[in-house]
Amino acid sequence: MGIYTECIERMSKYWKYGVVTFVCTLLCLPVSTQSKAFETSKQLEVFHALFRELDQWYVDSIAPHNAIENGIKGLMSTYDPYTNYIPESETQDLKFMTTGSYGGVGAIIGVREGRVLVMDLYENMPAAEAGLLIGDELLEIDGVQMTPASQAQASELLKGEPETEVHVRVQRLGAQKPLSIKIMRKLVQIHPVTYAGLLTAEIGYIHLNGFTEKAALEVRTALLDLKKRGATRMILDVRGNGGGLLDEAVSICNLFVEKGAEIVRTRGKLRQWDQTFKTTHAPVDTLMPLVVLVNSGSASSSEIVSGALQDLDRAVILGGRTFGKGLVQTTRSIPYNGVLKVTTAKYYIPSGRCIQAIDYAHRNEDGSVGRIPDSLTQVFYTRAGRPVRDGGGIEPDVACSDSSGSEFVYQLVNNLFVFDFATRYRHEKEAVWTSDESLDLTDADYQQFVRFVKEKGFHYEPEAMQLMKVLQKRLQAERLWEFLRADVEQLEQKLVVDLDRDLQVYRSEIESLLRIEIAGRYGFQSGKLRASLQGDPCVEEALDLLKDEDRYKKLLR
C-alpha cells in the first residue's frame, strides 16, 4: 500500500510538471504561428459555411465541382503563374511535359470555323502511317460526330492506351466522299531534338524543342554525329523552348564544359530545396566554338543552359532577351489523384544572378520581359570578368530579332490561307520535295497563291484603320473634327487595303511562310524546321559569327 501511495504521489507530481511544461510550451510558441493557425482554421470554416449555405438556399442548383474548382482557381491566382493545381483528368498532360510521351496517334488537332482539322502530324507515328494527312477534316472519331466539337474533345478521343484502335472518318481535299481510316494507337514519343544537320561543311546545327527525359542523350548523339561528319563549330537553337527538366539542362551543359563545373544552384524557404548542381561526366568538347540561339520564348531550362554557358564564357548567346523564369517547381500529391505544382525555390546560375523577372506579372505583348532600368538590377560577372545583369531573362551577347510584325501576313496565317494553300499544293503535287534539299517556290507558285487568296475572298482591316476610327471619335468629342477632317480622310484613303499591292509588298515574308508550311506536308516537323532556316536572319548572323574567329573570341573576353 505504501509503495502504491508513493507511486501515486510521484505520478501526480510528474503530471503537474507535465501540465506546466505543456502550458509553457504553448505560451512559448511564436504569436505569429498561433495567429496563422487560427486564421487558417477560421477561413476554412468560413469557406465551408458559405458553400453549405449557398448550396442550400441559392435559387438555382449549384454544381459542387464547378464551385469548388473556381475557389481553387482563385486561390492559385494569388501566387506566381507556375503554381497551380492539376486535377486527375489533366495529370497525363503533366506526364507528357516531363517525358514527351503519351498514348495516342501522333496528330495535332485544331478547330477552325467549326471544322476539326489535322493541323500537324508526327513522323513515323500511327496517324501518319495509317494515311492521315495534314489538312484532313475529321468528321467522326469512334462514331462521335465532330460538328461541333472542341479541340480538347477531339484530342481526348484520339488518345488512349497503346495497342487499341480508333476509327476516324475524314473529308479530304479532292476526295469524292469521306474516307474511313483505322489507326492503331501506340506510345507516341516526341523527340526533343527536332532537327540536326550541317549548315556548312564545318558548322553543325541542333534544334532542341524541350527538356524532356533523354533530351541530353539526344543532343549528345546529334553532337557526336555532327562532329564525325566534319563539324568543328556548333549552333544550339533553343528559341521557343519553354524548358522542362533541370537535370537535363545540367547534362546538356556538361557536353560543353569540364567535369565539376557548377551550373546552377537552387535556393528555397526550406533547406531541403537548397541544392547545387555540377557537371558529373567527362565533356564531349570544351573547345568547339558554340553559339546558342535564344528569344523571348526561351524559358526555364533553356535559360539555365544559355545563362550558364554565358557565365562560364563557353558560348556566345545570340538573339533576343529570354523569357525570365527563374523559379523551380515541385509536384506534390493531392487526394483523389490530383497534383499540386508549387514553386519551391529560385535558381541561380554560375555568376550568382537569378534570371527571374523582377515583375513577371507585367510583360510585353509577345510575353517577353519589359525593359528594366539598370538602377533596379544588379551587376554580376562571368568567369572571364564580363559584366552581366539580373532582373529578368538572359541578355544576349549579340542582339538579333527573328520576328516580323506585319499585320497583313498575320491575318493570312491566322485565317488559314497559308495552311489551306499548302494543303492544295500537296494534293496537286504528290512528291516534289525531300528534307535533304532546299524548297524553292517559283513565281508561278506565288501567282497561284495570289489567285487562291482572291478566290477565297480574303479581307482584313489594318490595325491603323481601326486606330483612325478611334481618333475620329476623339476629335469629334473635342470639337476638332471639322478642322482636321480633310487631313484625316486623306490619310484614311492611303490606308485602304490594296490586296495586289500588299501581296507584293510582303511577298518575301509570305513566301517564307509558304515554304515552311508546304515543307511540313512532305517532311513533318523536321521538314518545317529545315525550311525555316532558309533566310533566317539569326541563323545567318550565327554563321557569320562562327566564321569570324577574331570576333567570336573578342565577344568572350
Copy the grid coordinates of residue 502.
Answer: 500588299
Q: Residue 28, Cα to own-chain centre: how many angstroms?
A: 49
- Point out the catalytic residue in the list 237, 306, 325, 397: 325
Backbone angles phi, psi at 227, to 5 degrees: -65, -40
Beta carbons within 10 angstroms of residue 158's beta carbon:
23
Rounded to whole angstroms, the Cα distance separating 282 from 153 reads: 47
Rounded to whole angstroms, the Cα distance separating 295 from 401 reads: 8
Q: Residue 5, Cα to own-chain centre: how many angstroms?
A: 75
- Point out the catalytic residue in the list 251, 296, 300, 526: 300
Rounded to whole angstroms, the Cα distance separating 100 from 453 reads: 37
Copy the grid coordinates of residue 449.
Answer: 497563291
With a CB cutoff of 8 Å and minimum separation 6, the contacts of 311 are 349, 350, 351, 353, 380, 382, 383, 388
175: left (phi over 0), alpha (psi -120 to 50) or beta: beta
- The alpha-helical segments, DSSP class H, found in 159-259 are 215-228, 246-254
Copy the grid coordinates of residue 85.
Answer: 493545381
Told to judge if 325 belongs to the known catalytic residues of this protein, a careful annotator would answer yes
CB-based contact 275:219 (threshold 8 Å): no
- Point out the catalytic residue in the list 214, 298, 306, 311: 311
Told to judge if 300 belongs to the known catalytic residues of this protein, a careful annotator would answer yes
Rounded to whole angstroms, the Cα distance separating 253 from 188 reads: 27
CB-based contact 290:219 (threshold 8 Å): no
Rounded to whole angstroms, the Cα distance separating 430 from 443 reads: 20
Would you say the C-alpha torsion 185, 191, 194, 196 has a positive or negative sign?
Answer: negative
Bridge partner list, 193: 208
Catalytic residues, by residue number, are 300, 311, 325
